[in-house]
């Protein structure tokens, strides 16, 4: 298994470099560095100011040298400074990862737990009105657009019912209350699809031979579901969720904008609109890295929970 993990990590490096090259060429293929300089300088910059800016940010060097430098820097985690504001990108990421992770991890854990519980419940009552009503409800939940949840629940839970602040993330005023409404929104918005998926996983298992055997032996239905079926259904559930865990620190754009959570959501999108190549490069690199880590973790988790899988 160790050998497999090492091999996977080594394979990840060319993938990372490939993504970096692609980002570089896409960005500079579409935008002339002079246009980037103009966007970042005040209004009506002189040609001298533009040259100065390009020199300050290293965009006046030959393309090959820039490419080499930016790729090597990324692999060494030297993210450098934002082209737009000059702030240290690494500091910004460190500052933003915490709040993003706080919200997203709680949403992830709560959402996963509730979704599995409801899926078990629905599977237990399969074919009855509980199942049918559950299906209807999940389809409704899936059909509603994310922004609607945000605006609707922010208004209803925050403003009408006053259960928590409609905006803010003030550590000194106690974080718990700021997290309440965003977490409820995150969970409600994501839960419909998860329940549908996990229910299918559970029903796939319910029709297996070992379940029939267990029942034949007189094991009660509840025990069958919780002890045998759920355990086996966890394998597909794991594969669909573990990969997303590392990317939780990147946060959610809309939720963070509406609730003023000082996370990383939207950092990349803002950078793209500002033509801030330094940030785009760093965030794309980070996103790729985290996704790759997610996939490796999934494979390891898979081997751990399923004795039939051996990583060689």
Out of 8, 12, 27, 39, the only residue in the binding site for another protein (CB under 8 A) is 39
49 lies in the binding site for another protein (CB under 8 A): yes
Cβ neighbours for 139, distance < 8 A, ≥ 6 positions apart: 192, 196
Backbone angles phi, psi at 31, to 5 degrees: -125, 130
Cβ neighbours for 106, distance < 8 A, ≥ 6 positions apart: 179, 183
166 lies in the binding site for another protein (CB under 8 A): yes
Q: DSSP of 214-274, one letter per residue?
A: HHHTT--HHHIIIIIIHHHHHHHHHHHHGGGSGGGGG--HHHHHHHT--SSTTHHHHHHHT
Q: Which is nearer to another protein, 19 or 224 (CB)?
A: 224
C-alpha to C-alpha distance for 281 and 71, rounded to whole angstroms: 9
Out of 25, 77, 155, 210, the only residue in the binding site for another protein (CB under 8 A) is 155
Please give the torsion angle defined by the CA atoms of residues 281, 284, 287 and 292, in that order, rounded to the nearest 10 degrees. -100
Q: Which is nearer to another protein, 153 or 289 (CB)?
A: 153
* Closest residue by Cα to residue 36 from 311, 297, 276, 288: 276
User: Per the structure block, which two tokens stand in for 271?
Assistant: 């950078």
Q: Which is nearer to another protein, 2 or 46 (CB)?
A: 46
Please state the separation of Cα 223 from the chain's center in Å. Answer: 34
Out of 20, 93, 116, 165, the only residue in the binding site for another protein (CB under 8 A) is 165
29 lies in the binding site for another protein (CB under 8 A): no
232 lies in the binding site for another protein (CB under 8 A): no
Contact 24, 72 (CB under 8 A): no
Out of 256, 280, 284, 298, the only residue in the binding site for another protein (CB under 8 A) is 256
Tokens 């040259």, located at residue: 51
Smallest separation (angstroms) from another protein to the CB of 166: 4
Q: How many residues make contact with another protein (CB under 8 A)?
A: 66
Map residue 191 onto helix, strand or coil.
Answer: helix
Smallest separation (angstroms) from another protein to the CB of 190: 18
138 lies in the binding site for another protein (CB under 8 A): no
DSSP letter assigned to residue 284? H
Smallest separation (angstroms) from another protein to the CB of 280: 15
Out of 46, 62, 209, 310, the only residue in the binding site for another protein (CB under 8 A) is 46
Binders of another protein among residues 270 to 289 (CB under 8 A) are 275
Smallest separation (angstroms) from another protein to the CB of 158: 6
Tally of helices (H runs) and strands (E runs) in the chain: 14, 0
C-alpha to C-alpha distance for 90 and 244, rounded to whole angstroms: 22
186 lies in the binding site for another protein (CB under 8 A): no
Site mask for another protein (CB under 8 A), range 77-96, x = bound: ----x--xxxxx---x--xx
Binding site for another protein (CB under 8 A): 35, 38-39, 41-46, 48-49, 52-53, 56, 81, 84-88, 92, 95-96, 125, 128-130, 151, 154-155, 158-170, 172-174, 176-178, 180, 215-216, 218, 220-223, 256-263, 275
């Amino acid at each position: 298994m160790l050998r497999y993990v090492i091999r996977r990590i080594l394979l990840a490096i060319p993938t990372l470099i490939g993504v970096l090259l692609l980002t570089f060429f896409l960005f500079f293929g579409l935008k002339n560095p002079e246009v980037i300089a103009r966007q970042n300088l005040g209004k009506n910059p002189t040609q001298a100011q533009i040259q100065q800016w390009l020199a300050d940010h290293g965009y006046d060097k030959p393309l090959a040298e820039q490419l080499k430098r930016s790729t090597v820097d990324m692999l060494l985690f030297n993210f450098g400074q934002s082209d737009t504001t000059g702030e240290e990108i690494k500091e910004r990421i460190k500052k933003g990862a915490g709040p993003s992770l706080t919200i997203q991890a709680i949403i992830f854990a709560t959402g996963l737990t509730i979704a599995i519980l409801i899926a078990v419940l629905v599977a237990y009552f399969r074919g009855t009105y509980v199942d049918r009503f559950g299906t209807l409800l999940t389809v409704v939940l899936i059909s509603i657009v994310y922004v609607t949840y945000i605006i609707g629940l922010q208004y209803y839970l925050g403003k009408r019912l006053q259960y928590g602040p409609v905006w803010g993330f003030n550590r000194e005023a106690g974080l718990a209350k700021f997290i309440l409404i965003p977490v409820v929104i995150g969970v409600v918005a994501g839960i419909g699809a998860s329940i549908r998926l996990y229910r299918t996983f559970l029903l796939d298992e319910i029709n297996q031979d070992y379940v029939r055997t267990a029942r034949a032996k007189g094991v009660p239905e509840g025990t069958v579901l919780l002890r045998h079926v759920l355990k086996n259904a966890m394998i597909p559930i794991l594969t669909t969720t573990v990969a997303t865990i590392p990317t939780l620190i990147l946060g959610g754009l809309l939720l963070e904008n509406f609730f003023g959570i000082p996370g990383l959501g939207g950092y990349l999108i803002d950078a793209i609109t500002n033509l801030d190549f330094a940030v785009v490069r760093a965030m794309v690199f980070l996103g790729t890295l985290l996704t790759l880590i997610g996939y490796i973790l999934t494979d390891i988790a898979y081997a751990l929970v399923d004795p039939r899988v051996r990583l060689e």
